[in-house]
Amino acid sequence: MKSKKFAKTLKELMKTGYVTVSVRDEIRKNLIARMKNKEELFPGMVGYENSVIPQVENAILAGQDIIFLGERGQGKSRLIRYMVGLLDEAIPYIEGCEIHDDPFNPICSSCKDRIIKQGDNLPISWLSREERYSEKLATPDISVADLIGEIDPIKVAEGRYLSDELTIHYGLIPRTNRGIFAINELPDLSERIQVSLFNLMEERDIQIKGYRIRLPIDVYLIASANPEDYTNRGRIITPLKDRYGSQIRTHYPIYPDQEVAIMEQEIHLAADMKEKLVVPKFMKDIIAEVTMFARKNGEINQRSGVSVRVSIANYESVLSSAYKRSIKLNEDVASPRITDLSSLIPSTIGKIELEALEEGQDVRVMEDIINKAVLKIFNEHFKDDEELDELLSQFEEGLTLEASHNHPLSSYSDELKKIKPLEEAISKLEESNTPATRASYVEFLLEGLHLRRKLNKDQINSSFTYKI
């Protein structure tokens, strides 16, 4: 590859033995090579190993254009961008060509003329795989000129015919010749633009202002859309649907551990927070379950979806809340607690769409979802009340415990020293034995018992009192 890269003229390129292949064949060839070497094709795409990725592989092997169909926050754009990695590291093109013409098979008149005039001395440049990818978010105001091209009046004034392709100012798709072009939210394109696309995909010609100009460009087209919009009765024309070879349905994580894996993979934390935070597994599970319950909640609009970005933002919010407490109380280690879960409300309600509810009901919906998530995880750790009989008997004898977002770690440590059944109960949860995690376990235990209707919970300002 290095010797090919250094080729500066057509003559030098010919000596290297370079052979041009179509974009589809190139991607297919590189996919096969990776499959043979057992390389991970789409790193970081959690939960798609047995569903979406096999379908993508089939589509590539068949050389088909792809449309990814799914609600927001399902990784559609990331999947598309990963496909850029299946392109060759670099390819040669005729230097100065707007549409990156193949030196061995140019399609534009200008490059054909240059080959006749310059012959083997035709200068060659190299195009990296990143430069071969273009992406456009579909909006109703996009024009044919943006995607395909427009007649340049200056070139017409210079004496060129309107039917001459040299009069065109090329749009995004021709400029992505020999590469991958992605359109996000395809149904948002007007019908006129959609028609121009299916001409390009099937007949390989374009029409600008009534003039037909054949331009056999080599582009691998990929699109994304929301299922609600991608229907015959919606905003997509049937002939365009017919021209996409594969329609691949994406989905949200099926299992909570997949949601947790995405949270941990995508979260962005400052270095000082990473050093200070210890996160119990049950807190990660609760945050994942909040999203899972939101995706089933009838008061939330499920057509627009509940993105995995909800889980990521919630994880960041809860950890930030714990870190803030450690700063204010001057503590060396921090762990998120149940009292930090209130920070999920502002980081969630801006990312979901509620059905018709009265003003302020969004907080009630979120509080209900959080309670369901906490109870589900608590029930997974404590199957029945018998495990907690000794602790409950202490409450029956008058024990009262307090929890608060602002309680220092020492207050929880003192309670654990005095109440042996409490110490024994949290020992079943311990993954790490630090004052911060033990405080988190105490709050989890108390809230779980309250949600099981074994303890009453009273709120005074920002403090909560648990008792029978």
Cβ of 187: how many Cβ atoms within 10 Å?
18
Express each pLDDT in 265-304 by its tens digit. 999 989 999 889 999 999 999 999 999 999 999 888 888 8
Q: Are 247 and 103 in contact (CB under 8 A)?
A: no
Distance CA 156, CA 153 (A): 5
The domain segmentation of the chain, as residue ranges, is 2-249, 256-467
DSSP state of 241: H
Cβ-count burial 382-408 (b if 16+ within 10 Å, e if not): beeeeebeebbebbeeebebbbbbebb
Express each pLDDT in 69-123 by its tens digit. 999 889 999 999 999 999 999 999 999 998 999 999 998 888 998 999 999 999 9
Q: Are 141 and 190 in contact (CB under 8 A)?
A: no
DSSP state of 105: S
Q: Is it the case that residue 316 has pLDDT exceeding 50?
A: yes
Cβ of 328: how many Cβ atoms within 10 Å?
11
**DSSP 3-state assignment of 333?**
coil
Express each pLDDT in 432-463 by its tens digit. 788 999 999 999 999 999 999 999 999 988 89
Prediction pTM value: 0.86
Using DSSP bridges, classify how beta strands 66-69 and 219-225 pair: parallel, antiparallel or unpaired.
Answer: parallel
Q: Is it the case that residue 166 has pLDDT exceeding 90?
A: no
Q: Are 198 and 236 in contact (CB under 8 A)?
A: no
Partner residues linked to 168 by β-bridges? 151
Q: Is it the case that residue 257 has pLDDT exceeding 60?
A: yes
pLDDT at 329: 95
Express each pLDDT in 360-372 by its tens digit. 788 889 999 999 9
CA atoms within a 13 Å half-sphere pointing along the CA-CB vector of 353: 7
Contacts of 433 (CB under 8 A, 6+ apart): none
Q: Are 419 and 427 in contact (CB under 8 A)?
A: no
Q: Is it the case that residue 199 has pLDDT exceeding 70?
A: no
pLDDT at 205: 59
Distance CA 169, CA 400 (A): 77
- 2-249: CATH number: 3.40.50.300
Mean pLDDT for the stretch of residues 229-244: 71
Express each pLDDT in 39-78 by its tens digit. 988 988 999 999 999 999 999 999 999 999 999 889 999 9
pLDDT band at 3 (very low <50, low <70, confident <90, very high): very low
Q: Is it the case that residue 210 has pLDDT exceeding 60?
A: no
Q: Are 366 and 344 in contact (CB under 8 A)?
A: yes
Q: How far from 173 is each of 21, 138, 148, CA to CA, in Å?
A: 19, 13, 6
Distance CA 140, CA 5 (A): 41
Distance CA 312, CA 291 (A): 10
Least Cα distance to 291 among 101, 95, 131, 74 occurs for 74
Contacts of 168 (CB under 8 A, 6+ apart): 149, 150, 151, 152, 174, 208, 213
